[in-house]
Homo-oligomer: A and B are copies of this chain.
Amino acid sequence: MNNLLSAKRTYHLTKRVFHISPEKNDVNLDYFFNPRSVAVVGASNKKGKVGYSVMRNIIDDGFKGKIFPINLREEKIFGLKCYCSLTEIEDPIDVCVVVVPAKHVLGVAEECGQKKVKGLIVITAGFKEVGHEGAELEDKLVEICKKYNMRMLGPNVVGMSSYMGNGQIFNASFAPRAPIPGKIAFLSQSGAMLTSILDWSLNEGIGFSKFVSLGNKSDLNETDFIEALIDDPDTEVILCYLENIVEGERFMDVTTCSSKPIIILKSGTSAAGAKAASSHTGALAGADIAYTKAFQQTGVIRAESIQDLFDYAVSLSMQPTPKGKSVAIITNAGGPGIVCTDAVEREGLKIANFMPETIKKLRENLPAEAAVFNPIDVIGDAKADRYDFALGTCLEDENVHMAIVIMAPTATTEFRKTAQAVIQHAKAFPDKPVVGAFIGGHSVVEATIMLKDANIPCYAFPEQAVKALKGLVLHSDYQMSIETCDGPPVFPNINKRQVQEIFETVEKDGRKVLLEPEAISVVEAYGIPVPKTKLSTNPREAVTFANEIGYPIVMKISSPQILHKSDIGGVVVGVKSDAEVRRHYREIVDRAVRAMPRAVIYGVEIQQMSKLPDAKELIIGMNRDPTFGPMIMTGFGGIFVNFLQDVSFRINHKGITRKEALAMISETKVYSLLQGVRGQAPSDIDSLIDVICRIGKLVTDFEQINEIDINPIFVFQQGTGSLALDVKITLR
């Protein structure tokens, strides 16, 4: 593992090492990034052919290892000896690039396997992206790779490139031009996105340590490359354009461990559409929320646009990460200072509160008309000395974590000298990021370039400068949160066996939906407080149970088909006598039969009626995301849950910690209600946290659970606990 990882992050590391499946662990892709030899099957001398472009890129971009072109019809390619087959080559081959038509690829792969090639780059298209037959071909290709323990990038890729130091690039792609060397690794699921971004990057002066076209991802995928790049000494920032993630849980394992920034543009946020789901949790979770949460929980920065992706990457590759969120602004004009202040607050950063010494020093040394509170306005006639003094003074202030220098050109502005002052102060405070916003055209060009050359991002407008700082803060925020992270709580008295037995019964019945008493028993076995409940199958039994539990009671229809009981008059609360129990039993069953004639009715549940001293109604739910697994939800519950939509989510990545559970609750509006408003006593938030963590444990232990809705869960006054009133569980 990367030696930058701090010892304090043991929780995540421990978890990870324990969980990652051995065959996937420690992906070593060094033979792709630094191969000693490469073969190109389908190499060509004909300009315009893919096999020509690949050869040209490998040779022209300075690959210094051995190169073996393979083509049946040629003797020499690019002046190198050409082979008819891999078997003719005596040297070992690290990487084989395949550009022959799809129908020949399986044969080539087989040959590569026998030759003990370590890595395949299958540029050839015509696999699963073209339909059923292509998918079958692709499956066979993967089988061959497995058989020979060969790893494959592709098929259907532009290729990859890796900066190998000393100006050498191993460029095994048909991209028209080589990238500038840099510290950013870029993985792209879209080949066209990759090549056009490369073209764009040359103009912008953005360099890459690696680029990888991921293609169909049938063997190696984004997680494999991210894992390898975390250890790559040439890479400081990992950028991805992704349309999906193949191994969600492993992705979370790997990214959790990264101290390097990972920035992802995940597209297709709108395409998935609303999933059909019977649970509230499913209905309330948007199609894309699991990705958002998985990224947040592992510290991956989610870019909203291509521009953001590169703005974040550039600032993270140039600047240190700040120790906090407080920004100092130095400007020579009021308007842009205000615009910058707005942007700082909009992006969730803070305007730094200067210490009294700082303000005193600024006041004593700047002109009387200058503004010495943040933003510092050195006013329009400022020369470089005022910028120099103001920036130095505020960077010395421990309340300042980073700075933005705004310059609006006036007749007296000293462009070069001001840029030099900014560069010197940035060097003097290596843990405080500094960015520039030099507004203007010709007059600021030179100063802007000076800053960029000194690794200080500089933009035309203050808002972009703030965005750049935000990228740094997003990364440092997560790195700091990890240090204080503890694992999910351990619950000693859990009756796993009872749950196992209930699930077996349900599965034996051929059911997917648990009856309410079953569902109640499941959560009860995991220590979640529930009201006493019994299933009666006739009015007499109902009366017996009601007396055992004690009046008043609640009566509910019991049927696997009837999920929303109160909608069909299947629930009566506050039943107080034997006579009432008998009457309601018949009426409830009658209404259920009329409303849903085909429903199988098991009887009527008799439930303890919990007293409600200031009880708040919440919901706790779980919905299974196809990529990332169980997703836990909590928020405002009761019958208006769908209308209020006051809920928050977390991926249950090996359980939920108490800190995560509290964070979930505090993201909802109902949190302020739980804390006690308008004279009401605070609610038992600890008890709610406990239930959320127990649900996390339950869904971690039992993968067959598809959905859970506890709605409502009553949360009582502080110290008096909570009660899961209505529990629905369905299995997969």
Question: For A346, A443, A670, which residue has the most chain B Cβ atoms within 10 angstroms?
Answer: A443
* Residue in contact with A669 in the complex, picked from B191, B307, B643, CB distance below 8 Å: B643
Question: For A196, A200, A201, A265, which residue has the most chain B Cβ atoms within 10 angstroms?
Answer: A196
A335 touching B267, Cβ below 8 Å: yes
* Residue in contact with A338 in the complex, picked from B176, B196, B268, B440, CB distance below 8 Å: B268
Q: Which of A340-366 contact B (CB under 8 A)?
A: 341-346
* Residue in contact with A270 in the complex, picked from B270, B334, B342, B639, CB distance below 8 Å: B342
Residues in B with CB closer than 8 Å to A677 are: 640, 642-643
Interface status of A442 (Cβ within 8 A of chain B): yes
Interface status of A411 (Cβ within 8 A of chain B): yes
A441 touching B202, Cβ below 8 Å: yes
B267 touching A339, Cβ below 8 Å: yes
Q: Mark A118-158, 1 if CB is under 8 A from B, else 0.
A: 00000000000010000000000000000000000000000
Residues in B with CB closer than 8 Å to A464 are: 307
A202 touching B333, Cβ below 8 Å: no
Question: For A191, A408, A463, A679, which residue has the most chain B Cβ atoms within 10 angstroms?
Answer: A408
Interface status of A197 (Cβ within 8 A of chain B): yes
Interface status of A336 (Cβ within 8 A of chain B): yes
Cα of A260 to Cα of B257 in the assembled complex, Å = 54
B442 touching A199, Cβ below 8 Å: yes
Cα of A336 to Cα of B338 in the assembled complex, Å = 35
Interface status of A424 (Cβ within 8 A of chain B): no
* Residue in contact with A267 in the complex, picked from B269, B271, B342, B642, CB distance below 8 Å: B342
Residues in B with CB closer than 8 Å to A201 are: 441
B243 touching A200, Cβ below 8 Å: no
Interface status of A319 (Cβ within 8 A of chain B): no
A464 to chain B, nearest CB (A): 7
With contacts A199-B443, A678-B567 taken as known, whether A241 is within 8 angstroms of B192 at the C-beta atoms is: no
Q: Which of A247-267 contact B (CB under 8 A)?
A: 265, 267
A410 touching B195, Cβ below 8 Å: yes
* Residue in contact with A192 in the complex, picked from B304, B346, B408, CB distance below 8 Å: B408
* Residue in contact with A305 in the complex, picked from B130, B188, B341, B461, CB distance below 8 Å: B461
Interface status of A369 (Cβ within 8 A of chain B): yes
A673 touching B567, Cβ below 8 Å: no
* Residue in contact with A369 in the complex, picked from B130, B305, B463, B643, CB distance below 8 Å: B130
Residues in B with CB closer than 8 Å to A639 are: 678
Q: Mark A629-645, 1 if CB is under 8 A from B, else 0.
A: 00000000001101111
Interface status of A332 (Cβ within 8 A of chain B): yes
Cα of A241 to Cα of B644 in the assembled complex, Å = 37
B679 touching A199, Cβ below 8 Å: no
Question: For A191, A192, A333, A441, which residue has the most chain B Cβ atoms within 10 angstroms?
Answer: A192
A324 to chain B, nearest CB (A): 19
Residues in B with CB closer than 8 Å to A449 are: none
> Which residue of chain B has the shortest Cβ distance to A340 in the bound complex?
B267
> Which residue of chain B has the shortest Cβ distance to A201 in the bound complex?
B441
Q: Which of A646-680 contact B (CB under 8 A)?
A: 646, 669-670, 672-673, 677-679
A571 to chain B, nearest CB (A): 12
Interface status of A182 (Cβ within 8 A of chain B): no
Interface status of A380 (Cβ within 8 A of chain B): yes
Interface status of A23 (Cβ within 8 A of chain B): no
Residues in B with CB closer than 8 Å to A462 are: 306
Cα of A202 to Cα of B439 in the assembled complex, Å = 12
B333 touching A193, Cβ below 8 Å: yes
B461 touching A339, Cβ below 8 Å: no
Residues in B with CB closer than 8 Å to A176 are: 409, 411, 443
Interface status of A48 (Cβ within 8 A of chain B): yes
With contacts A193-B335, A241-B335, A341-B271 taken as known, whether A643 is within 8 angstroms of B439 at the C-beta atoms is: no
Cα of A460 to Cα of B202 in the assembled complex, Å = 13
A326 to chain B, nearest CB (A): 15
B460 touching A200, Cβ below 8 Å: yes
Interface status of A189 (Cβ within 8 A of chain B): yes
* Residue in contact with A442 in the complex, picked from B202, B241, B343, B644, CB distance below 8 Å: B202
Residues in B with CB closer than 8 Å to A241 are: 335
B409 touching A271, Cβ below 8 Å: no
A233 to chain B, nearest CB (A): 28
A412 to chain B, nearest CB (A): 10
Cα of A438 to Cα of B344 in the assembled complex, Å = 31
Residues in B with CB closer than 8 Å to A442 are: 199, 202-203
With contacts A643-B673, A678-B567 taken as known, whether A188 is within 8 angstroms of B335 at the C-beta atoms is: yes
Residues in B with CB closer than 8 Å to A335 are: 188-193, 241, 243, 267
Q: Which of A209-264 contact B (CB under 8 A)?
A: 241, 243
Cα of A369 to Cα of B243 in the assembled complex, Å = 20
Residues in B with CB closer than 8 Å to A193 are: 333, 335-336, 339, 408, 439
Interface status of A90 (Cβ within 8 A of chain B): no
Cα of A566 to Cα of B680 in the assembled complex, Å = 12
Interface status of A509 (Cβ within 8 A of chain B): no
B339 touching A265, Cβ below 8 Å: yes
Cα of A411 to Cα of B341 in the assembled complex, Å = 46
Q: Mark A157-195, 1 if CB is under 8 A from B, else 0.
A: 000000000000000000010000000000011111101
* Residue in contact with A203 in the complex, picked from B305, B441, B646, CB distance below 8 Å: B441
With contacts A176-B411, A640-B673 taken as known, whether A336 is within 8 angstroms of B268 at the C-beta atoms is: no
A195 touching B342, Cβ below 8 Å: no
Interface status of A204 (Cβ within 8 A of chain B): yes
Question: For A195, A304, A464, which residue has the most chain B Cβ atoms within 10 angstroms?
Answer: A195
B672 touching A408, Cβ below 8 Å: no
B333 touching A204, Cβ below 8 Å: no
B439 touching A196, Cβ below 8 Å: yes
Q: Which of A519-564 contact B (CB under 8 A)?
A: 564
Cα of A636 to Cα of B271 in the assembled complex, Å = 33
> Which residue of chain B has the shortest Cβ distance to A439 in the bound complex?
B196
A638 to chain B, nearest CB (A): 11
Residues in B with CB closer than 8 Å to A443 are: 176, 199
* Residue in contact with A441 in the complex, picked from B190, B204, B243, CB distance below 8 Å: B204
Residues in B with CB closer than 8 Å to A48 are: 411
A190-B334, A192-B333 known, 10 other contacts, Cβ within 8 Å: A176-B411, A190-B333, A193-B333, A195-B409, A196-B333, A243-B335, A305-B343, A306-B461, A567-B678, A642-B677
Top 6 nearest A-B pairs (CB, nearest first) are A190-B335, A192-B333, A203-B441, A199-B440, A196-B439, A193-B335
Task: Jot down 25 A-B pairs with beta carbons below 8 A, ordered by A.
Answer: A48-B411, A176-B443, A190-B333, A190-B338, A193-B333, A193-B335, A193-B339, A197-B439, A199-B443, A199-B444, A200-B439, A200-B440, A269-B342, A270-B341, A271-B338, A271-B342, A305-B463, A306-B461, A306-B462, A307-B464, A564-B678, A643-B669, A643-B670, A643-B677, A645-B669
